[in-house]
């Protein structure tokens, strides 16, 4: 079963030699085209999620479906394999169903648009883009129901269909789809923007082929892929040891009282080939926290993290996929069986990066190992009717602390996802009935270390009308770990202060929580883990951190630094404290997880005001 | 006799253009810049140009000046210590910014955040709050404010103060009151408030922009004040100093001192203004400008002799919300360094630049890495046998040696490598041209391409071929074009406010009276500077979008037309431009975000002079024979002296035209005519 591409011009494209400089020119032109796709979408999309936050990802692939420029790797191969239809010039495909495209997109709110690019009747390339829609229908506003047990509860499933047939919009289909979502106007514009971006990319590919010739264009894409292959071959032999390395991390819970869930990966090299084996990862969850991980996408994660070392200007692409083997056992959290629910996949997606970072960094901890912090992408949903009786639906992505890194401290409250930005609070306040009363980093939340972990953010939302909130967050139980002697960062918390003063700690994953006018929600994100021994940090920098209120006088003691009330350094007491603390320092500690899972669970209620999750049980086990 | 003087302070040279107001005749001069205090260079130049031209300094009545003092303060991190007062709960506003880490997946691993322009130690949260509706939900706590001010003052460090409260763009009562109280505590430092500097939504951008204003304010106002008083000493007390703004207008020295944030792009704006000046005289109204310097290239699109204005600019890595000519900058210039990463064997050019120090390898001032300039020398496009623009000796062997490293890295020959470097750098400049044209819905074929700056004329012909923009125009004095721009722009000021109203809800009388208020506010400073009311002309602008869109378009309109057509005048203009940009438009849902009045002072045009001595032949202008390498072969060419060319001559390519401060290449199959303005007009051979 696979897609059949109908070409009206069957004269073959010839693979020819292209001089290196022409390759560089075309590489630049394709890079520009990709950036143009991003720019176009951010200008024309309507929803704050895509437009302001940048939750969308473009790609241009060669005619075989290999990504030549883009971010998350090609999903075309997975799609064409699963799509048993003819594809013609002018067709534009739309889908959102992970089970129908080999997880090219990993949950239903991500709508993917795919366009075969033709030139004079010949298929020369693909352009594609997916974006996170504000709503996809289903159980809850925002369409990420944690409690869903099957994908049928997560809203409308769009199998790969032709949104445009030979250039004609299939408006019946479009209206049927939009009829099933809560934010049809936003989705309509956002989808328009994705289509416009793909069309633009198609136009640019044609212009490049005009200028250099079809054979040169297509051959160059092959050469660009080969460049990546060659570079990655070197990188793999440099960074991936033949001796296997293993690492485990967890997502804290499934939102239904069970957890944590283990993600385990073993990495090694056989000849030129890097192997990542997820054997030992927990079976699939019964709620929606499963992350259907496309193997190719994981290869891309791996490549992106390492390629910068050798040529930061390279246009990164798919060319090296044959050098990587990713093994994910069926039926696990990372490859659940249909029809498992998938919408809450953000936690495991984030955690994959911590796991990958650990595996790659372990071999050269001083040069390459970052602490944990790429831990999550917390979501807040707030929906209801405003004072005029109009429906509103807010979706916000939060940011925590960037971990301590070999290069230095982690920035406070910054995004680890590429291209993401926060939404200006004045914008949020102007268009939604709430007031953001504080938007500030949380003192001492970054893990102590020679390089300090970035502080998390405390965002306080005052609700100005009644409504419902839903939250998706993690790292509330397990810690963003520290490395090389660095301490873990603080975990995330959510505190709801009711208008009458009652305080409720609410779980990291919840939905349908009724809030009333005047209630205040503190949405506190995690701090990044620390890097290196905090006792080695220059005390004058700690003094400056305290003056900046990034660290408190009390928190400075974690660095063995004693600071007077007037913010001056007490050198003798600092010397004494550091001497005392250094006796307790564990030598050569690569990871600090803040305790074993058992220990963390035992302290859970006391520390987090929430019951610990019970160990998961699995169906069919 | 009365004269007008244009002065452009650049990194290396300060350029002067003196214009006789009555007959339009001009003199130019160039002196070395004096970065430690640019006003010294300016005064040196004034005496030089007066000596050379025999003009009495007291006859210079108007000095029009483009300056990079503000930009340099930002780029070198030499601004003032700024204290920031913000709404309590928002003290992290600069630290968190927009939470953005540049780079792709994994970009955060190497991202290093620079120091804040207002350090956290000097940032204080004030108890006050205005809501998005404009209602004050927490009145300003004056006692608390005084306490915080006392603490800030006790630190003894603050040199400039910024006040930026949440939602002040819609109601600035709390900000104004806080500023008043702050001025009682801080009596001797400038205080900038966000609702005055940039009354627009988005708390981070507004705070950052206002802080930046504070950051450069002491330096800029010192500079401007010194310059003004020194000019008065040497030119007489009636001399008027005007400074070029980022948006291409001119402002008085007083208003520059208060709002220096409006002058960050003063330099590039001068070049654009100069290009418009020469091209509009030659009846080219639609042009792409291309200003190639040592480290970077600025490009802009000009339609109907008007530069596009955008309302957000990046200076270093600081995002500034202030109107500026829509100039896009790429890190590609004559000094850009070429290299070959070992693993991928790709040829990369820039963004690293050899700058003036150590400079290109051919100058032998310490630079050994191959630059774009070296590649031009190897190719013979920058002839080493002719002394160009001053004292630098060109060592061709050194350039060859440097470029050979690239050739060896890739495994190709020297000439191929040199041509590769030029093709790559041209491509990245072409990318910038596409940004302002194709990506904004304009076809570059409908535009002429104007090349200037030190290296622009060298690359202009080749770039014209890439973008298919002909003719390619090289204006007179391409190296001092900014000074022309300074001397030929209009003085203007503007005033704006957030409006946030749906188009269909707008009531004509109210709208007109709001516009008139803005006009009066914008005229204030000009009237204060002694301009008479009858010399003022006004245009209005509205920032419009479809409700909910983040993108907005600025629509220009005049009062008379509005009175006849009503709000549809604005919505139609918006729809047209939206369609051009995005190929669709909607019938309703227009939201007016901001309105703005721009008041300009009318000015008499100057004439410009081309060589009117038509006696010389083409042969008379030849300096010598040469050859250059282009498209894989050598071409015999002649070098011409530009001052000897006149409007009756056509120069056949391949050729090189040389003048004091720049070198222009005419490629094979192209020819250059000289027009009545003195422009070189390059077209394909007929």
Give tens-digit pLDDT for B121-132.
Answer: 999 999 999 999
pLDDT digits (tens, 9 = 90+) for A75-122: 787 788 888 899 999 999 999 999 988 888 899 999 999 999 999 999
pLDDT digits (tens, 9 = 90+) for A581-606: 999 887 878 999 999 999 999 999 99
- Give contacts of A411 with chain B, Cβ < 8 Å: 101, 108, 111, 113
Across B626-632, average pLDDT: 95
- Give contacts of B172 with chain A, Cβ < 8 Å: none
CA–CA separation, B260 and B264 (whole Å)? 7
CA–CA separation, B568 and B546 (whole Å)? 14
CA–CA separation, B671 and B683 (whole Å)? 6
CA–CA min distance A111, chain B (Å): 20
CA–CA min distance A370, chain B (Å): 8
Chain A contact for B582 (CB, 8 A cutoff):
yes
β-sheet bridge partners, residue B330:
B297
Taking 90 as the threshold, does the pLDDT of residue A279 lie above it?
A: yes
Q: What pLDDT is recorded for position B486?
A: 86
Taking 80 as the threshold, does the pLDDT of residue B397 lie above it?
A: yes
Taking 90 as the threshold, does the pLDDT of residue A468 lie above it?
A: yes
Task: List the Cα angle A614/A615/A619 in 5-degree steps.
Answer: 115
Nearest by Cα to A189 from A172, A174, A170, A167:
A174
Chain A contact for B346 (CB, 8 A cutoff):
yes
Mean pLDDT: which of A7-16, A374-383, B195-204 is highest? A7-16
Across A238-251, average pLDDT: 94
The SS3 call for residue B351 is strand
How many Å is the Cα radius of gyration of chain B?
Answer: 26
Across B252-281, average pLDDT: 87
- Cβ-defined contacts of B515-524 (< 8 Å, 24+): B515/B540, B515/B559, B515/B595, B515/B597, B518/B595, B518/B596, B518/B597, B519/B495, B519/B597, B519/B599, B521/B495, B521/B597, B522/B493, B522/B494, B522/B495, B522/B597, B522/B598, B522/B599, B523/B493, B523/B599, B524/B493
Q: What pLDDT is recorded for position A308?
A: 64
pLDDT-derived band of residue A309, with 50, 70 and 90 as boundaries?
Answer: low
Question: Which residue from A minimizes the CA distance to B91?
Answer: A440
Chain A contact for B579 (CB, 8 A cutoff):
no
- What single-letter DSSP state applies at residue A90? T
Q: What pLDDT is recorded for position B294?
A: 78
| % of chain B residues with pLDDT over 90 | 45
pTM value surpassing 0.95: no
CA–CA separation, B559 and B572 (whole Å)? 16
Q: What pLDDT is recorded for position A235?
A: 87
Question: Which residue from A minimizes the CA distance to B109?
Answer: A405
pLDDT digits (tens, 9 = 90+) for B424-466: 999 889 988 988 887 777 888 899 999 998 889 999 999 999 9
Across B321-346, average pLDDT: 85
The SS3 call for residue B36 is coil
Of A227, A304, A547, the CB nearest to B344: A227
- What single-letter DSSP state applies at residue B531? -
Q: Which of A30-44, A501-515, B395-409 has the lowest mean pLDDT?
A: A30-44
Q: Which of A363-377, B452-466, B646-660 has the lowest mean pLDDT?
A: A363-377
The SS3 call for residue A125 is strand
Taking 50 as the threshold, does the pLDDT of residue B389 lie above it?
A: no
Angular region, A108: left φ>0, alpha ψ -120 to 50, beta rest: alpha
CA–CA separation, A380 and B627 (whole Å)? 67
Pairwise CB contact (< 8 Å): A304 & B103: no
| % of chain A residues with pLDDT over 90 | 77
DSSP secondary structure string, A537-563? Answer: S-HHHHHHHHHTTSS-HHHHGGGT--B
Q: What pLDDT is recorded for position B387?
A: 52
Q: Which of A338-352, B22-36, B125-139, B670-684 has the lowest mean pLDDT?
A: B22-36
B 78-137 residues inside an 8 A Cβ radius of A: 88-93, 95-96, 98-101, 103-113, 119-121, 129, 131-132, 137
CA–CA min distance B222, chain A (Å): 30
Of A316, A422, A550, the CB nearest to B99: A422
Across A309-334, average pLDDT: 87
Of A39, A440, A544, the CB nearest to B91: A440
Mean pLDDT: which of A61-75, A230-244, A569-583, B256-270 is highest? A569-583
CA–CA min distance B183, chain A (Å): 25
pLDDT-derived band of residue A194, with 50, 70 and 90 as boundaries?
Answer: very high
Q: What pLDDT is recorded for position A404?
A: 97
B 591-610 residues inside an 8 A Cβ radius of A: none
Q: Hey, of A192, A430, A529, which one would you mutate to test binding to chain B, going by the most B CBs within 10 A of its CB? A: A430
Q: Which of A105-114, A246-255, B318-327, B372-381 has the lowest mean pLDDT?
A: B318-327
Residue B620 and residue B649 in contact, taking contact as beta carbons nearer than 8 Å: no
Residue B480 and residue B15 in contact, taking contact as beta carbons nearer than 8 Å: yes
Mean pLDDT: which of A429-433, A536-540, B229-233, B353-357 is highest? A536-540
Across B280-288, average pLDDT: 92
Q: What pLDDT is recorded for position A273?
A: 96
Pairwise CB contact (< 8 Å): B343 & A430: no
Of B104, B346, B424, the CB nearest to A71: B104
Pairwise CB contact (< 8 Å): B344 & A230: yes
Distance, C-alpha B256 to centroid of its chain: 16
Pairwise CB contact (< 8 Å): B439 & A36: yes
Chain A contact for B427 (CB, 8 A cutoff):
yes
- Which is it for strands B622-630 and B553-557: parallel, antiparallel or unpaired? unpaired
Within A273-343, where are the H helices?
A: 295-307
Question: Which residue from B minimizes the CA distance to A442?
Answer: B92
Pairwise CB contact (< 8 Å): A43 & B582: yes
| % of chain A residues with pLDDT over 70 | 98
Pairwise CB contact (< 8 Å): A418 & B166: no
pLDDT digits (tens, 9 = 90+) for B487-521: 888 777 788 887 888 998 998 899 999 999 999 98
Q: What pLDDT is recorded for position B581?
A: 66
How many helices and strands in chain A, by DSSP H and E? 14, 24
Taking 60 as the threshold, does the pLDDT of residue A204 lie above it?
A: yes
Within A495-551, where are the H helices?
A: 539-547
Q: How many residues are recorded in chain B?
A: 686
Pairwise CB contact (< 8 Å): A426 & B113: no
| % of chain B residues with pLDDT over 70 | 95
Chain A contact for B169 (CB, 8 A cutoff):
yes
Q: What pLDDT is recorded for position B391?
A: 54
CA–CA min distance B545, chain A (Å): 11
Residue A177 and residue A163 in contact, taking contact as beta carbons nearer than 8 Å: no
Question: Which residue from A minimizes the CA distance to B351?
Answer: A313
Taking 80 as the threshold, does the pLDDT of residue B474 lie above it?
A: yes
Within A165-294, where are the H helices?
A: 171-178, 184-212, 214-239
Taking 90 as the threshold, does the pLDDT of residue A262 lie above it?
A: yes
Pairwise CB contact (< 8 Å): A43 & B434: no
Average of per-residue pLDDT values in chain B: 88
Chain A contact for B671 (CB, 8 A cutoff):
no
Mean pLDDT: which of A2-6, A275-279, B335-339 is highest? A275-279
Domains located in chain B, CATH noted: 1-284 (no CATH), 286-333+426-487 (3.30.420.40), 492-601 (3.30.1490), 619-684 (no CATH)
CA–CA min distance B553, chain A (Å): 11
CA–CA separation, A190 and A134 (whole Å)? 9
Q: Edge-to-edge, what's the strand order for the sheet holding A434-441?
A: A434-441, A457-463, A520-524, A493-497, A503-505
Q: What pLDDT is recorded for position A476?
A: 96
Q: What pLDDT is recorded for position A163?
A: 97
pLDDT-derived band of residue B78, with 50, 70 and 90 as boundaries?
Answer: confident
CA–CA separation, A506 and A175 (whole Å)? 38
Q: What pLDDT is recorded for position B388?
A: 47
């Amino acid at each position: 079963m696979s897609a059949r591409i109908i070409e009206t011009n069957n004269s073959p494209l010839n693979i020819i030699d292209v001089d290196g400089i022409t390759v560089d020119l075309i590489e630049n032109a394709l890079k520009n085209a990709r950036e143009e796709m991003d720019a176009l979408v951010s200008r024309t999309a309507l929803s704050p999620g895509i437009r302001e936050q940048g939750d969308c990802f473009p790609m241009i692939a060669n005619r075989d479906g290999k990504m030549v420029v883009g971010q998350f790797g090609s999903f075309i191969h997975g799609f064409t394999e699963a799509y048993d239809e003819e594809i013609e010039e002018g067709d534009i495909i739309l889908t959102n169903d992970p089970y129908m495209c080999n997880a090219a997109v990993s949950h239903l709110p991500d709508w993917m648009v795919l366009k075969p690019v033709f030139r004079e009747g010949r298929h020369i390339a693909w352009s594609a883009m997916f974006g996170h829609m504000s709503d996809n229908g289903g159980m809850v506003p925002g369409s990420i129901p944690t409690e869903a047990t099957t994908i049928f509860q997560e809203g409308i499933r769009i199998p790969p269909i032709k949104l445009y047939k030979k250039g004609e919009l299939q408006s019946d289909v479009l209206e049927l789809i939009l009829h099933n979502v809560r934010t049809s106007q936003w989705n309509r514009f956002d989808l328009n923007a994705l289509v416009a971006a793909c069309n633009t990319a198609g136009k640019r590919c044609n212009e490049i082929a005009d200028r250099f010739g079809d054979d040169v264009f297509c051959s160059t894409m092959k050469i660009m892929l080969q460049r990546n292959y060659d570079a990655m071959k070197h990188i793999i032999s440099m960074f991936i040891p033949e001796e296997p390395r293993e690492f485990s991390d967890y997502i804290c819970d499934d939102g239904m009282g069970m957890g944590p869930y283990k993600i385990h990966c073993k990495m090694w090299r056989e000849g030129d080939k890097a192997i990542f084996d997820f054997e030992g990862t927990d079976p699939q969850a019964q709620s929606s926290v499963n992350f259907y991980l496309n193997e190719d996408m994981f290869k891309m994660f791996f490549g992106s993290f390492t390629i910068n070392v050798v040529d930061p200007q390279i246009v990164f692409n798919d060319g090296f996929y044959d050098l990587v083997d990713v093994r994910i056992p069926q039926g696990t959290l990372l490859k659940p069986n249909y029809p498992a629910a998938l919408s809450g996949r953000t936690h495991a997606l984030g955690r994959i990066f911590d796991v990958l970072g650990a595996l790659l960094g372990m071999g050269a901890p001083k040069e390459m190992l970052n602490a944990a912090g790429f831990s999550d992408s917390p979501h807040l949903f707030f929906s209801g009717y405003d004072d005029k009786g109009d429906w509103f639906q807010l979706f916000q992505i939060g940011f925590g602390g960037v971990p301590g890194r070999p290069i230095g401290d982690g920035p406070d409250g910054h995004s680890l996802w590429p291209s993401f930005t926060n939404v200006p609070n004045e914008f949020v306040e102007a268009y939604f009935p709430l007031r953001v009363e504080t938007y500030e980093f949380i003192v001492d939340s970054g893990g102590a270390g020679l390089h300090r972990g970035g502080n998390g953010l405390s965002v306080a939302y005052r609700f100005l009308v009644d409504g419902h909130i839903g939250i998706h967050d993690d790292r509330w139980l397990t810690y963003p770990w520290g490395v090389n002697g660095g301490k873990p960062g603080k975990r995330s918390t959510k505190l709801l202060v009711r208008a009458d003063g009652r305080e409720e700690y609410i779980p990291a994953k919840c939905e349908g929580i009724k809030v009333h006018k005047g209630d205040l929600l503190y949405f506190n994100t995690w701090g990044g883990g620390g890097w290196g021994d905090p006792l080695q940090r220059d005390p004058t920098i700690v003094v400056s951190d305290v003056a900046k209120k990034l660290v408190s006088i009390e928190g400075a003691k974690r660095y063995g630094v004693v600071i007077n009330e007037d913010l001056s350094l007490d050198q003798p007491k600092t010397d004494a404290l550091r001497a005392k603390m250094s006796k307790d320092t564990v030598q050569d500690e690569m990871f600090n997880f803040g305790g074993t899972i058992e220990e963390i669970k035992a302290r859970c209620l006391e520390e987090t005001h929430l019951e610990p999750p019970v160990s998961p049980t699995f169906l069919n086990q | 006799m009365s004269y007008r003087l244009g002065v452009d302070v650049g990194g290396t040279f300060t350029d002067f253009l003196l214009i006789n107001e009555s007959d339009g005749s001009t003199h130019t001069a160039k002196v070395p810049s004096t970065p430690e205090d640019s006003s010294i260079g300016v005064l040196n130049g004034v005496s030089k140009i007066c000596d050379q031209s025999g003009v009495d300094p007291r006859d210079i009545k108007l000095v029009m000046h483009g300056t990079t003092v503000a930009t340099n303060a930002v780029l070198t991190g030499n601004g003032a210590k700024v204290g920031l007062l913000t709404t309590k709960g928002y003290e992290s506003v600069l630290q968190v910014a927009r939470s953005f880490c540049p780079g792709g997946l994994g970009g955060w691993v190497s991202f290093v955040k620079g120091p804040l322009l207002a350090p956290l130690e000097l940032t204080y949260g004030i108890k006050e709050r205005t809501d998005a509706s404009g209602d004050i939900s927490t009145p300003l706590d004056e006692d608390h404010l005084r306490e915080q001010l006392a603490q800030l003052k006790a630190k003894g460090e603050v040199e400039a103060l910024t006040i930026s409260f949440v939602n002040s763009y819609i109601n600035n009562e709390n900000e104004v009151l806080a500023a008043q109280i702050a001025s009682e505590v801080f009596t001797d430092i400038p205080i900038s408030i966000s609702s005055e500097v940039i009354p627009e939504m988005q708390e981070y951008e507004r705070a950052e922009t206002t802080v930046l204003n504070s950051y450069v304010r002491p330096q800029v106002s010192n500079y401007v004040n010194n310059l003004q008083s020194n000019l008065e000493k040497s030119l007489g007390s009636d001399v008027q100093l005007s400074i070029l703004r980022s948006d291409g207008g001119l402002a008085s020295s007083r208003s520059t001192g208060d709002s220096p944030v409006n002058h960050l792009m003063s330099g590039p704006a001068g070049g654009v203004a100069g290009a418009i000046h020469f091209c509009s005289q030659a009846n080219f109204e639609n042009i792409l400008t291309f200003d190639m310097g040592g480290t970077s290239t600025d490009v802009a699109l000009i339609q109907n002799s008007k530069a596009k204005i955008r309302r957000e600019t990046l200076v270093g890595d600081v995002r500034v919300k202030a109107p500026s000519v829509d100039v896009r900058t790429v890190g590609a210039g004559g000094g850009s360094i070429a290299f070959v990463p070992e693993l991928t064997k790709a040829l990369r050019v820039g963004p690293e630049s050899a700058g003036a120090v150590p400079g290109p390898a051919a100058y032998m001032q310490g630079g050994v890495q191959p630059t774009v300039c070296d590649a031009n020398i190897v190719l013979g496009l920058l002839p080493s046998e002719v002394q160009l623009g001053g004292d630098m000796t060109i060592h061709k062997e050194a350039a060859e040696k440097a470029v050979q490293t690239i050739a060896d890295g890739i495994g190709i020959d020297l000439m191929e490598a040199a041509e590769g470097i030029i093709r790559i750098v041209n491509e990245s400049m072409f990318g910038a041209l596409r940004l302002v044209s194709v990506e904004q819905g304009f076809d570059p074929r409908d535009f002429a391409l104007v090349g200037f700056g030190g290296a622009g004329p060298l690359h202009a012909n080749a770039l014209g071929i890439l973008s298919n923009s002909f003719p390619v125009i090289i204006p007179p004095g391409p190296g001092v074009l900014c000074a022309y721009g300074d001397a030929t722009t209009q003085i203007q000021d503007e005033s704006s406010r957030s409006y946030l109203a749906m188009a269909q809800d707008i009531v004509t009388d109210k709208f007109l009276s709001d516009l008139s208020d803005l006009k009066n506010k914008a005229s204030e400073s000009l009237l204060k500077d002694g301009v008479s009311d009858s010399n003022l002309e006004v245009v209005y602008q509205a920032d419009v979008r479809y409700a909910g869109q983040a993108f907005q378009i600025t629509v220009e309109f005049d009062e008379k037309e509005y009175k006849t057509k009503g709000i549809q005048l604005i919505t139609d203009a918006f729809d047209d431009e939206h369609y051009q940009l995005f190929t669709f438009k909607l019938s309703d849902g227009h939201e007016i975000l901001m309105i703005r009045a721009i008041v300009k002072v009318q000015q008499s045009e100057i004439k410009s002079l081309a060589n009117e001595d038509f006696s010389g032949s083409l042969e008379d202008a030849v300096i010598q024979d040469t050859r250059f390498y282009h498209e894989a072969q050598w071409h015999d060419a002649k070098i011409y002296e530009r001052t000897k060319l006149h409007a009756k001559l056509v120069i056949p390519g391949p050729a090189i035209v040389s003048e004091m401060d720049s070198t222009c290449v005419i490629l094979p199959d192209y020819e250059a005519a000289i027009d009545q303005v003195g422009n070189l007009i390059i077209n394909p051979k007929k």
